[in-house]
Amino acid sequence: MTGKPDRVDAVIIGAGASGAAAAKVLTERGLRVVALEKGPWRTKESFGGDELANVNRYNLWPDPILNPRTSRTSPEVAAEVDPFCPVPQMVGGGTVHWQGWLPRFTPNDFRLRTVAGDLAGTTLADWPITYEELEPYYDAVEWAFGVSGQAGANHFEGPRRRGYPCPPMPQSRYAEKFHDGCAKLGWNSFPTPQAALSQPFNGRPATVVSAFAQQHGDPTGTRSSALNVFIPDAVATGRYELRPESYVRELVLDDRGRIKAAVYEDAAGVMFEQEADVFLLACGAVETARLMLMSTSARFPGGLANGNDLVGRNVTFHEYSASVATFDDPIYAWAGGGYVSASSFQFYEHDASRGFVSGGHIAAAGVGIPLPINWGLPGKPTWGVEAKQVDRDYFNHSMAVAMVLHDMPQHDNRVDLDDTVVDAWGLPVARITLIPHENDLAQGRFLVDRCGEILEAAGGKDVTKVYAEKVTGNCSHQHGTARMGDDPDTSVTDRHCRTHEVDNLFIVDGSPFPTATGANPTLTIMANAWRVAEFIVTSKGNR
């Protein structure tokens, strides 16, 4: 038996960063929206300062026994089960456990192909939209969230219509070291814009600065997230019905080739068909591609809106790596979760003289989450007397300067469906096939070297550089699997993130991003989702 709930204006699949942002905009503009979220709807009361549960025991991460993925480094080898690039699967998605670094992309990010030219082996592309087109939505998200930051402090940032709603977060000791190092080197640095409230804002109290932050949920509800901001806004309209633990298995077409319904299974295993005028995919770039590839039909035998075989291709993940050093004076890099930070875009923009394309965001960070349960350094012993001494030396006296790698899109780096491994619901899991480009490795080495120079300039000792020798998906950032573009032959969606082949299907997560850029993507994902939702509302009468 299949249930058929009432038809609504829009179905959003996923209630994370992008799905919640779109839900807020659509419902506030009068649309009736059903959200189908695979995971639970957890409240702040269910979160706590428990590294073992949150990091080691999959309290927030997807349990790999239930939600496995596979990965491989070549189409010729068998893929192995690997929790590649996991993101919390629950209402709020990645914003539940993030630290919330929210830099904007720069104007050149939207035209990197024009700036840098061709790069052999890659599918480097300009975006079909510009920074100027997205700027109003950056502003909208920053002011909805109450982002704490300093306009103009990042000398590489594009024009902005106004400042940040809240001043920067207080300066941590690791941020202070970072600023010191950059100043000695003559490099620009700035307080990392953050999804937290440095002071009360919009009826919400200032953020509690705990040590349990990045990779932990927020028991106080004072950090800014999709869960704490967009979801309540959407619920308040009375037009948002959020159905957690509703796992969409397939999107089905009508006779005209438009999406008719989302077929989903609830927690009790009952199947439903939810009909709507428009459908928005907001599952994250890996799961969105997976759902499209699982939705096969006579019209789309290779997956929904995938006539050109581009769904899942050109996937990018960033990579997080760092240099680490010790200091004589205490750094307390666990305070604030290690990420109430300072940043630099000094090596973000493309510079042909470096011998590789583009660059990335560099910032100070802690070395535990917050404790040294899940953290180690190359070359250091893992047990015994010396290991214990390392823990004592490092815990209060070390910090990292880390970088976000701008990995290049490649046609053969892709997400598809594994042919043997299924999840706990019996559905094929996402398989990642990925080989880093030489540009990724060269850029990673360059950036990690610069990270080390900042530490040395700040007085750090025993600088250890950890180069990103491969892409492991350790950032939880994911993009590119349904790239947007004006040419239907080389892209999956148009500039409005509507698929070229199915006109009532929109993709609002990172999937449409033609390039990864070198910055944390979620602000831009939410701004873009806001933009697409506005387009859906304003174009509704025209379809």
User: Per-residue string for binding with another protein, 309-338, x by CB under 8 A?
Assistant: ----------xxxx-x-------x-xxx--
Nearest approach, Cβ of 135 to another protein (angstroms)?
A: 14
Q: Is 52 in the site for another protein (CB under 8 A)?
A: yes
The least CB distance from residue 542 to another protein, in Å, is: 36
The residues pairing with 12 across neighbouring beta strands, listed in sequence order, are 35, 280
The binder of another protein chosen from 4, 57, 256, 543 (CB under 8 A): 57
Binding another protein by CB under 8 A: which of 41, 64, 490, 540?
64
- For the chain, how many residues are written? 543
Binding string, residues 136-175; x marks residues near another protein by CB under 8 A: --------------xxxx--------xxxxxxx-xxxx-x
Asked if omega into 514 is within 30° of 0 (cis), the reply is no
Give the Cα separation of 511 and 513 in Å (integer). Answer: 6
Query: Which secondary structure element, helix H or strand E, spans residue 45, and what is its range?
Result: none
**Contact mark string toward another protein, 229..268, x via CB under 8 A:** ----------------------------------------
From candidates 3, 4, 6, 56, binder to another protein by CB under 8 A: 56
Return the residues of window 172-201 that contact another protein according to CB under 8 A.
Answer: 172-173, 175-176, 179-180, 183, 189-191
Rounded to 5°, angle at Cα 118 from 113 and 120: 135
Closer residue to another protein in complex, CB, 51/494: 51
Using the minimum distance from each CB to another protein, give the nearer residue, 254 or 469. 469
Helix-then-strand count for the chain, H and E = 10, 18
Write 161-166 long-range contacts (CB < 8 A, 24+): 161/135, 161/136, 164/193, 165/201, 165/202, 166/197, 166/198, 166/199, 166/201
Return the percent helix, strand and coil in the chain, to nearest 5: 25, 20, 55
Q: Which of 1, 120, 203, 383 binds another protein (CB under 8 A)?
A: 383
Contact 105, 159 (CB under 8 A): no
Kindly identify the residues of this chain, within the stretch 10-49, that bind another protein according to CB under 8 A: 45-49
Closer to another protein by CB, 172 or 493: give it: 172
Q: Which of residues 429-458 bind another protein (CB under 8 A)?
A: none
User: Least distance from C-beta 464 to another protein, angstroms?
Assistant: 9
| Residue 422 touches another protein, criterion: CB under 8 A | no
Through-space distance between the first and last CA atoms of the chain, rounded to whole angstroms = 33
Count residues binding another protein (CB under 8 A).
95
Residue 2 or 382 having the CB closest to another protein: 382
Which string of x and - marks every residue 78-117 that binds another protein (by CB under 8 A)?
Answer: -----x--x-------------------------------
Distance of alpha carbon 211 from alpha carbon 337, whole angstroms: 4
What is the identity of the amino acid at 346?
Q
The secondary structure of residue 372, as a DSSP letter, is T
- Residue 430 pairs with which residues in a beta bridge? 417
* Span near another protein by CB under 8 A; candidates 11-19, 101-109, 275-283, 380-388: 380-388
CA dist., res. 528 & res. 135, Å (int): 10
